[in-house]
Amino acid sequence: MSIRKLLQTKRLYFDGGTGTLLQARGLQPGELPETWNLSHPDVITELHLSYLEAGANILCANTFGAYRHKFGDEILRLIPAAIANAKAAVARCSDPRDRFVALDLGPCGQLLEPLGSLGFEDAVRLFAESVRIGAEAGADLILVETMNDAYETKAAVLAAKENCDLPVFVTCAYDESGKLMTGADPRAMVALLEGLRVDALGINCSVGPLQMKDTVAELLRYASVPVIVNPNAGLPRTENGKTVFDVTPEMFADHMAELAHMGACVLGGCCGTTPEHIALTVSRTAAIPYAYPEKKHDTLVSSYTHAVSIGDAPIIIGERINPTGKKRFKEALRTGDVGYILGEGLAEEEAGAHILDVNVGLPDIDEEQMLTRVVKELQAVTALPLQIDTVSPAAMAHALRIYNGKPLINSVNGTEESMNAILPLAAKYGGVLIVLTIGEEGIPATAEGRAAIARTVMERAAQYGIPKKDIVVDPLAMTVSADTAAATVTLQAVRLIKQELGLATSLGISNISFGLPMRDTVTAIFYAMALREGLDCAILNPHSAEVMKAYYAYRALCNMDESCADYIAYATSLPAVAQAPTGTPQPAQKTNTEELPPLVRAIIKGLRREAYELAKQALTDTEPMTLIQSAIIPALNTVGNGFESKTVFLPQLLMSAEAAKSAFDAINEAMPSADTTQNTDRRIVLATVKGDIHDIGKNIVKVLLENYGYSVIDLGRDVEPMAVCEAVRAHNVRLVGLSALMTTTVPAMQTTIDLLRTHCPNTRVMVGGAVLTQSYADMIGADRYAKDAMQAVRYAEEVFE
Amino acid sequence: MSFSLHIQRFETDTLFYRQSHVLRYLGYGEGQADSTVLSQLQSAYAELCRYAEPRAVYSRLPLSCPEADTLLIGSLEWHSRDLCRCLSDCREVLVLAATLGAGVDRLIARTSVLSPATAVITDALASDIIECVCDRLCQTFSEDGMRLRPRYSPGYGDLPLSVQGELLSLLSAPTRIGLSVNHASMMTPTKSVSAIVGILPS
């Protein structure tokens, strides 16, 4: 019987630990256990056999770290040998029925981007090869285990799904606090893994069975597939030169029985557990009634840390990452200024958004490439789940693939074309669909018509195995000034879809007030009305005070805000914003800045908000260029000179830079055509070289160069040498800045410079970073060594003079 | 031969930093820091404590030095005259690795977008805090009666940075504490320390 079928009716058991047992048989510290598949096949088979006789149904083949980057071509022999050793044990076992051999996939040992250097697709490829070899060798299932990062787990599961048809089981290593090393909680992992359609999921390693109880309860609460529990035998300690674990087989079995009562379906062990632990667990849980888990109905979207549940309290989806009607945003997309977009996203998060909508579509840019880049970079700085918003199926496919978590998918509609393009993507990668109620004939005029489209999409989605809980319907808020019945139809549709179909709903509410005066008031009241009809999510501008007031007031009125605490906290934060205290008064500085013009003083002192307000005021009677020449530049020079003469230090230099930037922001807002910061003749490419992931120094240089009017093309960190050349050529750039922190990455800097000399002989190169010195810089042929950020600015001034 | 790995988690309220060191990283000389930067240091520290999940993994292993520049630890064979000299008289070592965790790298990335000044301060603080975590760990060994040589990390003297991967792999650091190296032998998460500490015979 297949393992999937078997799990419908009975509890199954995994084997236990191998590491400690192999060490007892002579494995050296640091020696790779996988090599024993070939050097000591009998030992491995004996160990497997002892677990089978203890009652284990599933053997983990000895392939935990069997990947090409560790073993090279050797994996072609190691993995089949590992599967053969396990199968040999099954053949020798007294009762070979219902026994399975799992290809065991542990972590690959490198951290994925953006925290590490390993690219997502590189990780998928690494796992994929081992999956193909293991499936070919006759594995019965794939076990992805001991995962401590959500992104790596996704890469491994995708690799398994794309390279075999075997069942996929996944266990992660949650620690005492119930989280993975990179932050994901059990609910987020259930959302991610069920979206990817794994057959069973759970926890292994890290801690003993007792400490796992809360995490197991959380997994059971949200999972609709069987939950696996493979704990350690507690913690290791050395006793008389031997490693012993503190949870005895008896204690272990008692605790496992408790977890079985709670509903765990697959039980086994990890580090420190022995055949005795498993044997006792099997006998002590045999009589506990077994039940396959019930389907759960929570609508969950997730990031790499947490899940957001749709349907409990109103969810705010920030709408600001969208170029529609925004000149500055469009410009950022065209110039690849992702930093600006990240700033918009973080501002929405601080204003209270729970999820961020991400739309970077412009006719004249490569949307697929840009959407992927923005999603990746946003996920490096915010833990909020994202709503991927694009009309391009290709861009959607790529973004869903690399997204770390289970996103909202914005959108699918009731046309054949849309359903055929989007539903398969949702089925493969997981995600919660936003269904727009648009059919072949457009948007129905009635609420019933819109609900009918929602039903059509729901039924079609079911054919792809997409459950109701993963559908959120957007019955479309249309401009009320164009059709005064528009709002009432939409509100009726919200109620109908909720009550008749039992689906969650979402609306982009800002559109409703288009063309009217006092738009925010209309939008906010419409929002409150929609919430009353049962609206679950709204795509809105979290910087709109009227809308946010409606949100907080609604929650307080509907008994969703204990003691009205959130409402009060929000209300008390408001006057502070409205009256804009212009920075906290600072104690007198050593430099005498009292008699300077206020804006100059604000920049020197690094007062961000004050600099912004003062610049705004000054612009009422001063030309932008005059303001820049008479206040901003002199202030920057004062600080820059101070830094060079060591009376001003790095944090102050940067605070002044931030203040100057907000003064520039005020100028750009007042007159978008002034174009004071984006000087296309004064372009500089910055990059941290290949292999190097420390980018703080490069970021400092960027901030200062921008202050001085240079347009910086920031290629980020760990940048391929050729990518630097390509950027230089594409933008016709005269100066490149390269940064490296460690000796190991200086050769990559050299390679980059050599390439630049060949392909872009007229481009100058400045270098900096902790490890660099003048002699290093000379050795690798740089034009200039910049000891600090101000020296980089001075060199740029020389080059562009 | 038996070999056990010990994992230690540190409560974030036990984290500390040396103000003078952090100010030095930031370029300040003695007495040059003003009250603004000192209060920013305080608030950046509070924020760091919210994101840090300090963990260490270590193991006590026998050491042999068959040649003046060769050392054997478990299955590792390293060549370094400087480290051999530092470990002379030692027959055992502690191999250790510690990290503040991925959350701190995320905090620094996020802060770089919001405020570069705060990012620079946070980065400097985190670098010092992880050193202090290691010092604290070694201090507990000393209190247990071990006589220790100074911490010695890959990249010091003639011990190449490229052994970092082997060291972390020996400790199963990627699975035990979520600490690994990239292809250029840089540790990820970045606020991490790996080291060998010689144990003098008692």
Nearest C-alpha of chain A: how many angstroms from B156? 11
pLDDT average, residue stretch A511-518? 95
Look up tokens 């490096």; give the residue. Answer: A380
> Quick check: A183 and B1 CB within 8 A?
no
Nearest C-alpha of chain A: how many angstroms from B30? 12
Q: What percent of chain A has pLDDT over 70?
A: 96
Q: What is chain A's length? A: 801
B186 to chain A: closest CA residue: A692
Question: Any chain A CB within 8 A of the CB of B40?
Answer: yes
Question: Any chain B CB within 8 A of the CB of A679?
Answer: no
* B1 confidence band (pLDDT: 50, 70, 90): very low
Exposure string of A450-464, with b = 16+ CB inside 10 Å and e = fewer, is bbbbbbbbbebbeee
State the DSSP H helix or E strand holding residue A372, giving kind and residue range, or none if neither.
helix A367-381
Contacts of A712 in chain B (CB under 8 A): none
CB-nearest to B123 from A587, A696, A703 is A696
Look up tokens 């409606």; give the residue. Answer: A550
For chains A and B, what is the number of CB pairs under 8 angstroms? 189
Question: Any chain B CB within 8 A of the CB of A33?
Answer: no
> Quick check: B185 and A107 CB within 8 A?
no
Interface probe for B, chosen from A271, A381, A584, A590 (most Cβ of B below 10 Å), is A381
- pLDDT digits 0-9 by tens, A635-687: 999 999 999 988 899 999 999 999 999 999 898 887 765 554 455 678 999 99
Contacts of B144 in chain A (CB under 8 A): none
Nearest C-alpha of chain A: how many angstroms from B125? 13
Question: Any chain A CB within 8 A of the CB of B101?
Answer: yes
Question: Any chain A CB within 8 A of the CB of B161?
Answer: yes
CB-nearest to B182 from A149, A590, A691 is A691
Amino acid identity, residue A423?
L
> Quick check: B161 and A690 CB within 8 A?
no
Classify B92 as helix, strand or coil. strand
Instruction: Name the phi and psi angles at A109, rounded to 5.
Output: 90, 5
Nearest C-alpha of chain A: how many angstroms from B86? 22
Question: Any chain A CB within 8 A of the CB of B54?
Answer: no
> Quick check: A181 and B178 CB within 8 A?
yes
Classify B50 as helix, strand or coil. helix
Contacts of A23 in chain B (CB under 8 A): 1-3
A204 to chain B: closest CA residue: B175
Q: Is the pLDDT of residue A717 over 60?
A: yes
CB contact set of A303 (below 8 Å; sequence gap of 6+):
A188, A379, A382, A383, A384, A385, A386, A404, A405
Q: Is the pLDDT of residue A695 over 90?
A: no
Q: Is the dihedral of CA A401, A407, A411, A415 positive or negative?
A: positive
Contacts of A657 in chain B (CB under 8 A): 116-117
User: Which of A133-142, A584-593, A663-672 has the highest average model confidence (pLDDT)?
Assistant: A133-142
Nearest C-alpha of chain B: how many angstroms from A455? 41
- pLDDT digits 0-9 by tens, A755-792: 999 999 999 999 999 888 999 999 999 999 999 999 99
Which alpha helices (H) appear in B28-172, and where do they start and end? Answer: 35-51, 81-86, 102-114, 116-143, 164-170
Dihedral of the alpha carbons of A270, A272, A278, A279, in degrees to the nearest 10: 170
- pLDDT digits 0-9 by tens, A284-309: 999 999 999 999 999 999 999 999 99
CB contact set of B201 (below 8 Å; sequence gap of 6+):
B89, B90, B91
Exposure string of A24-57, with b = 16+ CB inside 10 Å and e = fewer, is eeebebbbbbbbbbeebbebbbbbbbbbbbbbbb
CB atoms near residue A789 (< 10 Å): 26
Least trusted range by pLDDT, from A236-240, A502-506, A772-776 = A236-240
| Longest Cα–Cα distance in chain A | 94
Question: Any chain A CB within 8 A of the CB of B72?
Answer: no
Contacts of A745 in chain B (CB under 8 A): 184, 186
- The whole-angstrom separation of Cα A198 and Cα A226 is 10
* A593 confidence band (pLDDT: 50, 70, 90): low
DSSP H helix total and E strand total for chain B: 7, 9
CB-nearest to A654 from B7, B101, B120 is B120
- pLDDT digits 0-9 by tens, B96-136: 999 999 999 999 999 999 999 999 999 999 999 999 999 99
* A360 confidence band (pLDDT: 50, 70, 90): very high
Instruction: Name the phi and psi angles at A181, rounded to 5.
Output: -55, -40
Nearest C-alpha of chain B: how many angstroms from A50? 22
**Strand-pair partners of A307:** A302
- Tell me what percent of chain A is helix, strand and coil, each rounded to the nearest 5: 50, 15, 35
ipTM of the complex: 0.91
Strand pairing of B55-67 and B6-9?
antiparallel
Among candidate residues A274, A227, A275, the one with its CA nearest the CA of residue A12: A227
Decide: residue A199, CB within 10 A, 0-12 exposed, 13-18 middle, 19+ buried.
middle
pLDDT at A402: 98
Tell me the pLDDT of chain A averaged across its residues: 93
A741: left (phi over 0), alpha (psi -120 to 50) or beta: alpha
Least trusted range by pLDDT, from A200-204, A432-436, A739-743 = A739-743
Nearest C-alpha of chain B: how many angstroms from A369? 22
Which alpha helices (H) appear in A324-366, and where do they start and end? Answer: 327-335, 338-350
Classify A617 as helix, strand or coil. helix
Contacts of B113 in chain A (CB under 8 A): 339, 342-343, 346, 381
- pLDDT digits 0-9 by tens, B55-99: 999 999 999 999 999 999 988 899 999 999 999 999 999 999 999
> Quick check: A586 and B36 CB within 8 A?
yes
Question: Any chain A CB within 8 A of the CB of B42?
Answer: no
> Quick check: A652 and B115 CB within 8 A?
no
CB contact set of A268 (below 8 Å; sequence gap of 6+):
A13, A14, A15, A16, A56, A58, A204, A228, A229, A230, A278, A281
**Structure tokens belonging to residue A330:** 């469009």
Question: Any chain B CB within 8 A of the CB of A41?
Answer: no
> Quick check: B61 and A29 CB within 8 A?
yes
Which alpha helices (H) appear in A40-103, and where do they start and end? Answer: 41-54, 68-71, 75-92
pLDDT average, residue stretch A141-168? 98
CB atoms near residue B149 (< 10 Å): 18
CB atoms near residue A638 (< 10 Å): 19
- The whole-angstrom separation of Cα A369 and Cα A494 is 35
> Quick check: A742 and B161 CB within 8 A?
yes
> Quick check: B184 and A748 CB within 8 A?
yes
Instruction: Name the phi and psi angles at A369, rounded to 5.
Output: -70, -45
Question: Any chain B CB within 8 A of the CB of A248?
Answer: no
Peptide bond into A411 cis (omega under 30): yes
Dihedral of the alpha carbons of A745, A747, A748, A749, in degrees to the nearest 10: 90
Q: Is the pLDDT of residue A693 over 80?
A: yes
Among candidate residues A197, A128, A134, the one with its CA nearest the CA of residue A169: A197
Interface probe for A, chosen from B12, B22, B35, B36 (most Cβ of A below 10 Å), is B36
B39 to chain A: closest CA residue: A586
- The whole-angstrom separation of Cα A348 and Cα A352 is 6
> Quick check: A181 and B103 CB within 8 A?
no
Contacts of B29 in chain A (CB under 8 A): 646
**Structure tokens belonging to residue B76:** 């590792």
Interface probe for A, chosen from B28, B170, B180, B185 (most Cβ of A below 10 Å), is B180
pLDDT average, residue stretch A127-148? 98
- pLDDT digits 0-9 by tens, B145-170: 999 999 999 999 999 999 999 999 99
Interface probe for B, chosen from A182, A246, A346 (most Cβ of B below 10 Å), is A182
User: Higher model confidence: residue A239 or residue B121?
Assistant: B121
CB contact set of A251 (below 8 Å; sequence gap of 6+):
none
pLDDT average, residue stretch A240-246? 76
A704 to chain B: closest CA residue: B116
> Quick check: A107 and B74 CB within 8 A?
no
Nearest C-alpha of chain A: how many angstroms from B178? 6
